[in-house]
Structure 1
Amino acid sequence: MHGLAMQVQQGLHRDPHAGDLYIFRGRRGDLVKILWHDALGMSLYAKRLERGRFIWPAAVDGVVAISASQMACMLEGIDWRHPQTTWRPTAAG
């Protein structure tokens, strides 16, 4: 969590405590981590897809800006460019 906050501060030159959401994607594309500070403390949310990859828009200067609806679709595993539900596991094992 602290490492991601440092990336926001030093790499993006932004304030990680300002209340914005910062989303980081793993190298394989199947993991995202969301960093958020709510004035009380830092929160870290992580999600890994069982199948497929998160759809990621092209970066401009290392930064991607997405809307709240695009983020909601992305976290549900829906391709926000062509919305439709994706595969869901039926069992845990």
Structure 2
Amino acid sequence: MVIGPAGNVRVYIACGVTDMRKGFDTLAAQVQTMLSFDPHNGSLYAFRGRRGDLIKILWWDGQGLCLFSKRLERGKFLWPQAKDGSVSLTRAQLSMLLEGIDWRAPVRTWAPEVAC
């Protein structure tokens, strides 16, 4: 069984840097106060740490809050330049972002080593 959001889910990226020590309640409060959204509306809310190699995604699945995290071993998650607020992405753009691909111009933030 695969757990995931519906195909029509909205995706928001919290601009700026987020303290990655934050958990469910603090991130949900940040969605309410800083982004002015209801964290229980079924949208995805993505947050990035200072180094850029870790993101957390908060999502209400209808029964409770889910908190997903991903850390890249190489490269960085590319984030909008705005210092505050949010940016809305499509699921395809989110997929590229999660793979470490620049969603504005699809290029990887790192290149695999090629054996000679």
TM-score, normalization: structure 1? Answer: 0.82
Q: Does 1:74 align with 2:97?
A: yes
Q: Deviations over 1:53-73 (max 9, x none)?
A: 101123375212222111000
Counterpart of 2:68 in structure 1 is: 45
8 Å CA contact 1:31, 1:46 repeated in 2: yes
8 Å CA contact 2:45, 2:58 repeated in 1: yes
Counterpart of 1:91 in structure 2 is: none
Number of residue pairs aligned between Structure 1 and Structure 2:
89
Label 1:23 to 1:81 Cα distance change in 2 as closer, same or farther (>3 A).
Answer: same
8 Å CA contact 1:58, 1:64 repeated in 2: no
What RMSD, in angstroms, separates the aligned Cα atoms of the two structures? Answer: 2.0
- Give percent identity, aligned residues only: 56
CA distance in 2, matches of 1:37, 1:24: 15
Counterpart of 1:9 in structure 2 is: 32
4+ long deviations beyond 6 Å: none
Unmatched runs of 5 consecutive residues or more in structure 1: 89-93
CA distance in 2, matches of 1:50, 1:87: 12
The structure with higher relative contact order (CA 8 Å, sep 6+) is 2
- CA shift, 1:83, in A, is 2.4
